[in-house]
Every structure is written in C-alpha cells, then in structure tokens.
Amino acid sequence: MADGSDLAASRIRLVLSALQTRMGAQVSTVGSVREEHSHGEALDASRLPEAVVFAESTDDVSAVLKLCHEHRVPVVAFGAGTSVEGHVTPPEHAISLDLSRMTEIVQFNPEDLDCRVQAGLTRQGLNAQIRDCGLFFPVDPGGEATLGGMCATRASGTAAVRYGTIKENVLGLTVVLATGEVIRTGGRVRKSSTGYDLTALFIGSEGTLGVITEVQLRLYGLPESVAAAVCQFETVDAAVRTAVEAIQYGIPVARVELADEMQMEACIRYSHLDELRALPTLFFEFAGGPGAVREQVEATEEIARENGGLGFAWADTPEERSRLWKARHDAYWATRALEPGALVISTDCIVPISKLAELILGARDDIAASGMRAAMVGHVGDGNFHTLILAEDNAEGRRRILDLDRKIVGRALAMGGSCSGEHGVGLGKQEFLETEHGAGALRVMRALKMAMDPRGILNPGKLLPEGEVYRG
C-alpha cells in the first residue's frame, strides 16, 4: 500500500496532467518559477510548490480548484508575493495559483465612484489608468501588492486614517469556492440590509475560504490641494503625542506616519534625505480644498509646537511629496541596508490610539532589554506601528527576534489591541489568536472553514492555529 507521500504525489500528477491538457503553457514546473512562488517576505522557510498555474480568468481559477478539490491537492493563491507572515508559503505537494496576469478593469463607473477589477491588478496599476478621470483608489499598503491580495489580508496602510482600510472600500467580490463554484458577493450599492455579509467574510480570510478573482471598489475624487510636511522631535513620546492629539482634535489629516531615530538614520542613508536628522519624525499629508488644507496645517503646526516640534519642513511639489513617501515606503529596505546580511523581521500590532504612546515606550524598553537593534515606523494616526528587528541570520537570531516580537505583541494584547493591524495572520501570528479572540470565536472560525472547504485544500495550515497557543 502506498504511504501518504506517495499518494499525494500520485494525486498531484493526475491534476497536473489534466491542467496541462487544458491550460498548456499556463502551467509551469520550471525550477526558477517554482522558487519565485516558494515564499513571500516572511521569516519562515520557503517550500517549493509542485507547479505554478498562471490563471488568466475566473474560469481558469474555477477549473484549477475543481480538479484540486476532486483529488485533494492543496492550493495556495499567489499575487505579488509581498506578504510578510508566510501567507503564500506552500505546504507539501501543493500548487501555487498565480493571479498576477488577471489585471483588467472589468467595469469602470466614474459617475458612481466605483469600478470592478480583476484580482491581479495592483493599486498603482489601477490609479495610473483612472488618474486622468480625476479619480483614485486610496488604500496604500506600500509595495506592489495586488488588489486581490490586499483583500485576502485585509490590507491597510498609510492613508487608512483618512480613507479607511481595504475592508471599508470594497463593495463586492467574485470568489471561487473550494469546489470550483463561482459566487458573487455584495454589489455596487453603498449599503444593503439583505443577507449575510459575505464580502466581509472573505476580506481577511487569507485564501482559506475561497480565491478572490474580482473586486468591486469604491473610488474617490483626487483632492484639489495636497500638502506634505515633515516635523522632527527630540523624543518619540512627543512625536506620538502630537499625532494622537491631531486625531483626537478631529483634524482630518490624510496621512500621519512615525519613524523613530533608528528608522530615520536608515532612511537618511538609503533614500538620501540629507536635509533631515536622525530624530523621531512625523510625516504628514493634508488634502482637500486650499482653505481647508491651510486650516488643517495651521492646527497641526500648533499642536506640534506645543509638543516641542522642531518646525515643519514642506514638500511643495508632487515630485518632492513622492520622494518623501517613497522614503517612507522603503523603510524596510533601508533598515535591511543598515546591516547587510542580517536577519530582519517586520512585525506589527495595533492598540486604541490613547494607548499608543504607552505601547511604543514599553516596546522600546523591551528592545533595549533584548540587546538587539530595532527600528520603529508606523501609521500612528490609527494606533498601528511596525517594529523592524535585526539579528544574526541563524537559529539563535531567529529565536531572539521571535521572543522580542512576542513581548511587544503581548503588551498590545494586554492593552486591548490586536496582534496585527494589517499584516494578517498567515503562519507568523497564529499563536496569538486565541488570546485575542477567545476559544469560542476560534471554534466558529474553524466551523466556517470546515463548511466551506471540507477537504482542506485552500491554503492549509494558515490563519487558524492548532495545538498550543500563546497565553500572554
């Protein structure tokens, strides 16, 4: 009798044979292609998929899932491969289902401020095509994330303080279920009181309940006026207090981002921000009519001054604004460049904004006690920040990084926060879920997974923890 590994290999051979007959060159078993799909940007080790299938339509995705369901072959959806919690790392004997060729705008409704796009289109690609119509899509997680991947991980980013996360900006989805059945959720209307909210169910499900192939998005008018500024502080506490007070006073800042002194040291070197110093820094963006922007700026400057801000440095041109925000988005790569060859993990957590200063200062104490180097950067307008931890690239370095990560996340959970504000769960955050949500909620999540994917083929081993979980 064949053992489990032989049986799994036999099953995937049957599936690949059928897919190659149907899809031809869209199925690849080339080593370099498999390697590209063996990992994202996570700390976890990579694993080669048995093959990569490049879907070009919802029908392609349906055909793949129908075959994989029939033969019990695992499938992991893949977009841009930029996730940081192991979402796209395949299990053994799995297929990587790449949706990056699905980049069409299916429907564009400028008069209703919405559009429908295929899941492989990126935010940047969408905005490049609709900019001339005076519209844009605001959710900006940085990097080349696909819109389907952003939905799957419930992405957020720098503009969430003004426009909300991906969850608030998706009206409906096309989803292929584990059996290959295609369903549509939601619609084009801005609200509905009918039925279960299936759109919200799939947002953040990380490819474990279905594969998203189309997304109905809200769009926004390009603001008449945009101003960006940088303000530096002597202490992190003063910078955080400024950001929190600006939000509490109701100033509608479009973005407010924090970088601590180590992160600024890295960004100054990497992005040539020679006009700035290695001090805790806030990056601001204001948007609206000229008069409204002026009022926002004046009110924020006053708050910063009262907290010891060292003056606003303005970015007056689109090119200069882009330069500053590119430096912010390149923070991860800038930190890596500080110590070439070092291991770097980017973690995140989130708390109510009134607890943010306490959490950041506590996390800095944890970093100091660990003896490791770590930079902090975050979307402080909504209480979310990232810690980029550096250590030697070996087993001991990994252990120390994860220990520090657990201490910081433990602080956030104790303050009523979440173990992730935007990176998602994947493999890396599973141990915190019971502490955050409770055993009862996890039982409901597992029941949903079992009902929708009874053979467990959709991104198995991700999101829902098994066995021992973190107790704090």
Q: What's the pLDDT band for 472 if we cut at 50, 70, 90?
A: very low
> Structure tokens of 291?
């008069």
pLDDT tens digit sequence for 97-109: 999 999 999 999 9
Tens digit of each residue's pLDDT (9 = 90 or more) over 316-356 = 788 988 898 888 889 989 999 999 999 988 889 999 999 99
8 A C-beta contact, residue 206 and residue 463: yes
Tell me what pLDDT residue 311 has.
86
Read off the pLDDT band of 43 (50, 70, 90): low
Rounded to 5°, angle at Cα 330 from 252 and 36: 125
| Mean pLDDT, the chain, whole residue set | 93
Q: Nearest-5° angle of CA 255, CA 260, CA 266? A: 100
467: left (phi over 0), alpha (psi -120 to 50) or beta: left
DSSP state letter for 222: P
Helix, strand, coil abundance in the chain, percent, nearest 5: 40, 20, 35
At 129 the pLDDT is 97
Q: What is the pLDDT of residue 42?
A: 73
Average pLDDT over residues 225-240: 94
For the chain, the domains span 4-98, 105-221, 225-332, 334-414
Q: Which of 217, 95, 73 has the alpha carbon at shortest distance from 155?
A: 217
DSSP assignments along 366-390, one per residue = HHHHHT-EEEEEEEGGGTEEEEEEE
User: What SS3 state is found at 338?
Assistant: helix
240-267 burial code (b ≥16 CB/10 A, e <16):
bbbbbbbbeeebebbbbbbbbbbbbbbb
- Do 262 and 374 touch, CB atoms closer than 8 A? yes
Query: 4-98 with 225-332: one CATH topology?
Result: no
What mean pLDDT is predicted for residues 288-292?
Answer: 92
Q: How far apart (Å, rounded) are the C-alpha atoms in residues 284 and 302?
A: 14
How far CA 323 is from CA of 83, 249, 271, 327, 437, in Å, comes to 24, 29, 8, 6, 40
Multiple choice CATH, 4-98, 3.40.190.10, 3.40.50.880, 3.60.20.10, 3.30.43.10: 3.30.43.10
Single-letter residue type at 71: H
The pTM (predicted TM-score) of the whole model is 0.93
Q: What is the pLDDT of residues 74-91, one digit of tens each?
A: 999 999 998 889 999 999
Query: In angstroms, what CA-CA distances link 267 with 155, 258, 263, 323?
Result: 24, 12, 6, 11
Locus of tokens 């991947």? 149
Distance of alpha carbon 166 from the chain centroid: 10
**Residue 1 reports pLDDT greater than 60:** no
Q: Residue 167: what pLDDT? A: 95
- Mind listing the pLDDT tens digit for each residue in 156-192? 988 999 999 999 999 999 999 999 999 999 999 888 8
Average pLDDT over residues 436-453: 95
pLDDT at residue 132 is higher than 90: yes
Q: Alpha-carbon distance 208 to 191, whole Å? A: 26
Token pair of 184 as six digits:
């549509």
Q: How is domain 225-332 classified at the architecture level of CATH?
A: 2-Layer Sandwich (3.30)
**How sure is the predictor about 453, in pLDDT bands with cuts at 50, 70 and 90?**
very high
Domain 334-414 in this protein, CATH class? alpha beta
Q: Cβ(280)–Cβ(232) under 8 Å?
A: yes
Give the pLDDT of residue 346.
86
What's the confidence (pLDDT) of residue 470?
Answer: 45
Under 8 Å between Cβ of 180 and 69: yes
Which pairing describes strands 95-98 and 75-78: parallel, antiparallel, or unpaired?
parallel
Query: What proportion of the chain, given as a percentage, has pLDDT over 70?
Result: 97
Compute the distance between CA of residue 194 and CA of residue 351 in angstroms, rounded to an integer. 32
CA distances from 339 to 271, 331, 393, 405 (A): 16, 14, 11, 19
Amino acid at 138: P
Higher pLDDT residue, 346 or 210? 210
Q: What is the pLDDT of residue 471?
A: 47
105-221 adopts what CATH topology? 3.30.465
Provide φ and ψ at 144, rounded to 5°. -100, 60
